Structure 1
Amino acid sequence: MNKLCEMHSFVAVVDTGSISEAARRMGVAKSMVSQRLQQLEKRLGSILLERGRHARLTESGEVFYRYCVRILAEVDDAEGAVQTLQSSLHGSLRIAAPMAFSIRYLTPILSSFAVRYPQLQLDVDFDDRHVNLHEERYDAAIRIGELPDSSLVAKTITPNRHIICASPDYLTAHGTPQTPQELSRHFAMLYVNREPHGMWTLPVNNALESFRVRCRLRTNNAHQLMEAAKAGMGLAILPTFLAAQSIVAGELQEVLAPYAPRGGNISAVYRQSLRASPKLQALVSFLTEQIGSPPEWEQMLATHARQTG
C-alpha cells in the first residue's frame, strides 16, 4: 500500500473523528480506509488510534500525526511548485538534435513538449554534427554515442545500443559472418561521422580492435545506411532505435551480436551555467518520461526475440 495513501487516510480519520466520515470526504469505501489504517499500524508495529464512537489518538498516534501533517503539507507544496513551474516556463529554448533519431522519435516528443508549455518558444536545429554550445548560442543539444570529457553537463536519457545487420538476401548470397576477422570478405556501408578512416572498431575480448571492410557506400545519413542494408548492399552498423522496425519486419537480420560496437547513450547536454535552468530541467524530465525505460524500440526487439526464439 502506498505510504502516502496510508498517511492521508490516517490524518483524515483524526481530523474528522471517524472512519466513516473520513471515507465520505475522501470519496472511498469505509473498508478501504479501515484497511489502510490496519496496514499502517501493522507496518509500524504500534497502535495509533483507539477505536470507538470517536477515534482517539494514542501517544504513538499523536507523534505520528504531527509528522504526517508536516509531510503531507510538504508534498502539497512540492506539487504546487511543479505546477507553478509548468505554468511559468516562458521565453525561448534553442536545441540542437541529431537527424536520424529526431525524424523517428524526437520530433513528436518535442511537439508534445511545446504543447505542454505553450509560453515556451522552441528553436530546434536538426543536424548530426556536434554544435559548439558555447559559441553557437544553443541552450542544449541531444547527443548520441560516447561523450568526450568536457565542461558540459550531460544527462543520460536512455542507453543507445548498436547492432551489426544485413538483409536476409545479402546473407543468403554472401554468407553470415561468424567472427570479425571475416569482415574483410564482406561488403559494408560506412557512416563517415563514426568511421572516417574506413574501418569498423569492434569489441573483441574486452578490447577494441579495428577491422577493414569492403566499402560499398559512405554516407553521413543513418537512414541511407539502413536503406542500403535493406536493399542488400552489405552489412551496416545501426542504432537499435533505427533498425528495430526493420528487424521485426524481417527486412534486416542481426549478425555478430557478441561483437556489437558500443553505442554510448542518448543524452541531453548543456552548459554548467544553465544547470539550474527550469526550462532545461523540464526538457530532460519530459524526454526521459516520454522515451521510457526501456525505450519503445528495445521493447519491440525484446517482444520479437521472445516470439521468434
Structure 2
Amino acid sequence: MNKFSDMSTFVAVVEAASFSEAGRRLGTTKSLVSQRMQQLEKRLGVVLLTRGRPLKLTEAGQLFYADCTRILLDLARAEESVQDRQASLGGTLRLAAPMAFTPRYLAPLLARFALRYPQLCVDMEAHDRVANLQDGGFDVAIRLGNLHDSCLVARPLTENRHLICASPDYLARQGTPEHPGDLQQHDGLIYYNREPNGMWSLPMDGAQHSFRVRVRMRTDSGHQLLEGALAGLGLAILPTFLAADALLDGRLVSVLDDYAPSGGHISAVYLKTLKTSPKVQALIQFLGEEIGRPAPWDAALIAHGLLPNGSTA
C-alpha cells in the first residue's frame, strides 16, 4: 500500500474529472485507476466520489481532496528543498544511449556538458539494446525513433531523419529503383530492431506499406549497415546522422526520396515524477541547444540540396 500513490491518483481523478483521462495523465489504464479508487474508499471506509458524468466529490471527498493537495504540495516542496541544495549539479547522472549515435555526436557533447558542471559525474553506457529505466539503473536515456512507452516522459531533441541509401557502384550494377515495388529486385541490408521480418515499411499514398527486399545482410548495428552500404552490398535505410558524411562526399547516394521512412525523433526520456531532476533538466536543455533544429548533419545536407528543408518525422 502506497498512500502517496493513492493520494496522487485521487487528485488526478478529481482534476481530470474522468478515470480514463486520469489514467492517461498518470501513464496507466482506466481500469487500474478505478481499482485504486475502490481500494482507497474501502480502506478509508467512505465514499469519495459519486460515479457519473461528470464525476462529483462527496462531502468526505472534498475534505480529503483538500488535505491531499496540501500534503502532496508539502512533499513536492520537501523534494525541491533537497534538490535546491544540489543546484551546482553534484552527484552522478546515469545515462543510457544508443551506440550508433554516441561516438561521432553524443560523446563530445557529453564531454562538454561534464566540463560545464565539474561537480557532476556523468555515468554513461552506450549500447544498441533499449535500456530499462524502470529498474532504477538510469536517470535518463537517449532514444531514437517513435516512442511508445507511456510510463516515460519524452523530450524530443531533434528530428531523426532517414534516407534509403546505396553506393554508386551498387547502383551502377543493379540499377536505381524508381518505385518501392522495385525493391524486390534489389539487395537490402536489414536492421533487426526496425525490420525483424525482413520487410521495409515505407510511406506511400498517405499510408504505410510493406515491401519485400532481398536480404543481403542482417545486423543490429547501425555502423554495420553503413559499412555494408559503403561496400556496395545493397540498399540500406540509414539515419542521416550516420550517412551524412558519405552522402556529402558522394560515397553514398539516396534513392526513393519521396518514400523515405520516418525516423521519429532523437529524444531524451525519463520516468514520470512529481518534479524532474535538475540534472536531467540541465542535460536536456544542453543537448537541445547544442544539437538544434535542424541538426548540424541535416543542415549540411540541406545546404547541398541533398535533403528537403523540412521535417519528415
TM-score, normalized by the shorter chain, greater than 0.5: yes
Q: TM-score, normalised by structure 2?
A: 0.69
Q: Give the conservation status (yes or no) of the 8 Å contact 1:85–1:278.
A: no
Matching residue of 2:284:
284
Deviates more, 1:186-195 or 1:87-96: 87-96
| Alpha-carbon distance in structure 1 between the residues aligned to 2:170 and 2:221 | 21
The Cα shift of 1:136 comes to 4.5
The Cα shift of 1:171 comes to 0.5
Letter in 2 for 1:177: P
The Cα shift of 1:293 comes to 1.8
Cα deviation 1:262-309 (Å, max 9, x = unaligned)? 1000000001127421111100000011112211001110122189xx
| Alpha-carbon distance in structure 2 between the residues aligned to 1:267 and 1:157 | 5
Does 2:175 match 1:175? yes
3-state SS of 2:250 partner: coil
Does 2:94 match 1:94? yes
The Cα shift of 1:143 comes to 0.2
CA gap 1:274/1:260 in 2 versus in 1, 3 angstroms: farther
Matching residue of 1:108:
108
CA gap 1:97/1:274 in 2 versus in 1, 3 angstroms: farther
Q: Give the conservation status (yes or no) of the 8 Å contact 1:192–1:220.
A: yes
| Alpha-carbon distance in structure 1 between the residues aligned to 2:85 and 2:261 | 41
The Cα shift of 1:86 comes to 9.1
Matching residue of 2:19:
none
| Alpha-carbon distance in structure 2 between the residues aligned to 1:168 and 1:174 | 10
Letter in 2 for 1:305: G
3-state SS of 2:114 partner: helix
Matching residue of 1:153:
153
Matching residue of 1:265:
265
The Cα shift of 1:221 comes to 0.6
Identity %: 56
Q: Give the conservation status (yes or no) of the 8 Å contact 2:202–2:208.
A: yes
| Alpha-carbon distance in structure 2 between the residues aligned to 1:128 and 1:220 | 7
| Alpha-carbon distance in structure 1 between the residues aligned to 2:243 and 2:136 | 32
| Alpha-carbon distance in structure 2 between the residues aligned to 1:178 and 1:290 | 37
Cα deviation 1:194-246 (Å, max 9, x = unaligned)? 11111111111111111111111101111110111011110000001110110
Q: TM-score, normalised by structure 1?
A: 0.70
Find the structure with the greater CA-based Rg.
1
CA gap 1:212/1:284 in 2 versus in 1, 3 angstroms: same
3-state SS of 1:202 partner: strand
Q: Give the conservation status (yes or no) of the 8 Å contact 2:89–2:279.
A: yes
| Alpha-carbon distance in structure 2 between the residues aligned to 1:125 and 1:229 | 27
The residue correspondences of 1:67-78 to structure 2 (distance < 5 A) are: none
Query: Can you give the 5+ residue segments of structure 1 that lack an aligned partner in the other structure?
Result: 1-83
| Alpha-carbon distance in structure 1 between the residues aligned to 2:199 and 2:93 | 38
The Cα shift of 1:183 comes to 0.2
| Alpha-carbon distance in structure 1 between the residues aligned to 2:111 and 2:87 | 17
CA gap 1:300/1:162 in 2 versus in 1, 3 angstroms: same
Cα deviation 1:175-195 (Å, max 9, x = unaligned)? 000000000000010001111
Does 2:133 match 1:128? no
Deviates more, 1:175-184 or 1:268-277: 268-277
CA gap 1:205/1:243 in 2 versus in 1, 3 angstroms: same
Letter in 2 for 1:113: F
Instruction: State the aligned residue count.
Output: 224
Does 2:227 match 1:219? no
The residue correspondences of 1:22-61 to structure 2 (distance < 5 A) are: none
The Cα shift of 1:131 comes to 1.2
3-state SS of 1:121 partner: strand
Matching residue of 1:187:
187
Matching residue of 1:238:
238
The runs of at least 4 aligned residues of structure 1 exceeding 4 Å deviation read: 84-87
3-state SS of 2:289 partner: helix
3-state SS of 1:164 partner: strand
Matching residue of 1:299:
299
3-state SS of 1:305 partner: coil
CA gap 1:242/1:275 in 2 versus in 1, 3 angstroms: farther
Cα deviation 1:91-138 (Å, max 9, x = unaligned)? 111000000111110000001000100100111010111111011421
Q: Give the conservation status (yes or no) of the 8 Å contact 2:161–2:239.
A: yes
Letter in 2 for 1:103: P
Matching residue of 2:54:
none
| Alpha-carbon distance in structure 2 between the residues aligned to 1:104 and 1:161 | 17
Matching residue of 1:138:
138
3-state SS of 2:242 partner: helix
Cα RMSD over matched residues? Answer: 1.7
CA gap 1:232/1:274 in 2 versus in 1, 3 angstroms: farther
Query: Can you give the 5+ residue segments of structure 2 that lack an aligned partner in the other structure?
Result: 1-83, 308-313
